[in-house]
Structure 1
Amino acid sequence: MVAPTTTMAKRASESRPGLAELALRYPALGPGCALLLAGVVFAVANDRFLAVDNLSLVLAQSLVVGTLALGQTLVILTAGIDLGNAAIMVFGTLLMAKFAADGAGLLALVCGVLLCAFFGAVSGGLVTGLGLPPFIVTLGMLTVVTASGRIYAAGQSYPVTDGLLSALGTRFYLFGQVEFTVGMVLALLMFVAVWYLLTRTAWGRHVYALGNDPEAARLTGIHVNRTLFSVYLLAGVIYGIAAWQAVGRIPNADPNAYQLGNLDSITAVVIGGTSLFGGRGGVFGTLIGALLVGVLRNGLTLVGIDSLYQDVATGILVIVAVALDRLARRRSR
């Protein structure tokens, strides 16, 4: 006969979630702990790390990539990937800068965002209409948009002097010390808005269902192609806002800028706990992932590590994140 205390202890242990279940239930938990650990390590290694101006710099450097990663999160949640997001954003900055040079700031902003939305719609149309793999479609978009942007710019960079386009770079100080920009506030509001869409609307539930099993989602009455197309379209709009943030942070549109922006955005999403296999993750994990990448690069720079080794460390972190995601899924079955 089993003692009652033994039976109760066994039931308690069975009801207590394991690490794999916790990782699946709270995808941002692991990245959050990693961010905290990295902050402690770099604070001990270099006393300049926790300086207010340095932390503000980390936030500023994470801004554009974090916004790109927000759009990338939506695509990856559907088990897709967008390799052309940074190229789309750069083309948007070029269009904004050239239009604004003629004194049409508002028109430049609207046309830049619409251009990015158009490229997102083209990607979504090819994926949904022709059934092409997202990897192939967005790889093609990366090549086409990059080349088109350089042709459009004629190999030149364009300074941005329009007040509206540079508005997101406007600085203000919290408590008289902590430097923020309008772009940072806008980015945070965008993360909150997308979080609401994903967690509090039927559209968000459809996105997760589509990422988990497209066929099962279709059988439950979800318009799979319509939902998938809307994801790419919304991601394109977000890339357009990222273009606005880019010219606000550095008032210069360069066709050769952000060449690794697509990979950095994927890195932030994956490190943030969103599964490359779709259906799991969230935007706040992506925000933590973008900050973690920024903290890692900044901290390694402060301790004198070469940028090439920083890329090695970031790449290893991505591989570890994907491996842990795969192990967590296997153990949860």
Structure 2
Amino acid sequence: MTPSSTPVASATAPNLDDEFKTRPTNVQRTRNVLHRYPVISPALVLICAVIIFGLINDRFYTPQNLSLIAQQVAVVGSLAVGQTLIILTAGIDLSVGAVMVMSALVTGQTAVNHGVNPVVALISGFLVGMGAGLLNGIFVTRLKLPPFIVTLGTLNIFLALSLLYSGGSAVRGSDMPALLTWTGVGLSLGPFRITTGVILMILIYVVIGYALAKTAWGRHVYAVGDDLDAARLSGISVNRVLLSVYVVAGFVMALAAWIQIGRTNAASPNVAGDLNLDSITAVVIGGTSLFGGRGMIWGTLLGALIVGVFRNGLSLAGFDALYQTLAVGVLIIVAVALDQWIRKGRK
């Protein structure tokens, strides 16, 4: 060995300490996977919940009960689609339930009390939902108000307008035209029985999922939520995107109102008690970040199913409705903590 061979060998030899330091740990790998595939977490939670509640009560697995869960999820799941769009832009909508109630009441009251053609009444409900979304969007984009404050205010405004318009009374039963209750028509799939409202909810997910994944509008929504200033500098019309998101969300809430009318066979001002909380829970559990820019619409569907499974499973287990609400609140905190953990790892 020549004297010069030693330094050459030491210069080219790999530094094992540095390689060990840069190698990702199992925790980091887990964070990376959960960041890339946000639906993994809600899928695991849903599977565990179904297994646990099935072990607690055998009736949980019956086709009748599973069909009931699907029907219960239809309204919350539809509202959660609109909530997802807004949260993807780093906003939040506390008025989703109020918009749904207002759209349902306008649709029902217009058709029954004013004798308007059911098609026109249904369209008027859609216009009310889109108008409410447009109003929220104008406050956010033009007046630069925080979405939380805006929707907290319009929550009370829309509920008050609904009560004033309807006089606090509901439209029920045989007075409702068949078109308005069509979403409550049952369909048999083997031993399972679902409603057309469930199918409509799934169609909403398919359409919005395609729009987010395959269109320029969807890419702009993610870009605005991820970094608003960077999106503006890249040439995206940020205000236009935000305004469109709130209008589309309002339309989806009006569809949820139609599903609600079919499910309860009524348009009532007293149906939105837990819907705001449940819709936010479904979105957050589904892997959509409250800070915007990350999430998948199908994760929201899993989140809505988790909410439905928890409420139904706890009810079958004999727990009071207050414990169901408690469980939903715990799910929100756990989901947000998990999201923070994932984001911290990526940073």
On whether the aligned pair clears a TM of 0.5, the verdict is yes
Q: 1:306 aligns with which of 320, 337, 343?
A: 320
Instruction: Please report how far the alpha carbon of residue 213 of structure 1 lies from its aligned counterpart in structure 2 after TM superposition.
Output: 0.7
Distance 1:300 1:108 in 2: 38
Contact 1:93–1:112 (8 Å) recurs in 2: yes
1:110 corresponds to which residue?
123
Tell me if the contact between 1:199 and 1:205 (Cα under 8 Å) persists in the aligned partners: yes
1:152 maps onto 2:160 in alignment = no
The amino acid of 2:240's aligned partner reads: R
TM-score, normalization by structure 2:
0.91
TM-score by length of 1: 0.95
* Corresponding residue for residue 132 of structure 2: 119
Q: 8 Å contact 1:103–1:162 — kept in the other structure? A: no
Q: SS at the partner of 1:18?
A: helix
Aligned twin of 1:172: 187
Equivalent residue letter for 2:79: L
Q: Write the mapping of 1:1-333 to structure 2, written as runs, cut at 5 A.
A: 18-101=29-112, 102-159=115-172, 161-175=176-190, 177-333=191-347
AA aligned to 2:160 is A
Q: How far did residue 2 of structure 1 move?
A: 7.4
**Is the CA contact 1:87–1:259 (under 8 Å) kept in the aligned structure 2?**
no
The CA distance in 2 between the partners of 1:140 and 1:8, in whole Å, is: 55
Alignment gaps of 5+ in structure 1: none
Runs (4+) of structure 1 exceeding 2 A deviation are 5-17
How far does the alpha carbon of each residue in 1:130-176 deviate from its partner, in whole angstroms, 9 at most, with x for none?
1111011111110100011011111111115201111111111112x
Say which is worse superposed, 289-298 or 160-169, in terms of deviation. 160-169
Q: What is the Cα deviation at residue 306 of structure 1?
A: 1.4
Cα distance between partner residues in 2 of 1:106 and 1:57: 28
Question: Unaligned regions of 5+ residues in structure 2, if any?
Answer: 1-11
Identity of counterpart residues, as a percentage?
A: 47
Cα gap change, 1:251 to 1:23, in 2 (>3 Å): same
Amino acid at match of 2:181: S
Cα 1:21–1:298 shift into 2, 3 Å: same
Per-residue CA distance 1:25-83 (angstroms, 9 max, x = gap): 11111001000000000111110000000000001111101100000000000000011
CA distance in 1, matches of 2:37, 2:266: 39
- Bigger drift between 302-311 and 272-281 goes to 302-311
Give the superposition deviation at 1:186.
Answer: 1.1
Q: Which has the larger radius of gyration?
A: 2
Paired residue secondary structure (1:277): coil
8 A contact 1:31–1:272 mirrored in 2: yes
Which one-letter code corresponds to 1:238 in the other structure? V
> Structure 1 residues 304, 226: closer, same or farther in 2, change over 3 A?
same
The CA distance in 1 between the partners of 2:342 and 2:243, in whole Å, is 30
Does structure 2 retain, via aligned residues, the 8 Å contact 1:71–1:239?
A: yes
Aligned-pair Cα RMSD in Å: 2.2
Q: How far apart in 2 are the matches of 1:2 and 1:322?
A: 45
Give the Cα separation in 2 of the matches to 1:218 and 1:316: 37
Which amino acid counterpart does residue 331 of structure 2 have in structure 1? L
**In the comparison of the two structures, how many residue pairs are matched?**
332
State the SS of the aligned residue for 1:97: helix
What secondary structure sits across from 1:130 in the alignment? coil
Q: Give, as a single letter, the amino acid of the residue that structure 2 aligns with 1:168.
A: T
SS in 2 for 1:49: helix
Look up the SS of the partner of 1:172 in the other structure. strand
CA contact (8 A) 1:88 1:239 kept: yes
Alignment partners' CA distance in 2, 1:38 and 1:299: 8
SS at match of 2:59: coil
Contact 1:80–1:135 (Cα < 8 Å) also in 2? yes
Shift of 1:10: 9.5
Matched residue SS, 1:173:
strand
Q: Give the CA deviation at 1:195.
A: 0.7
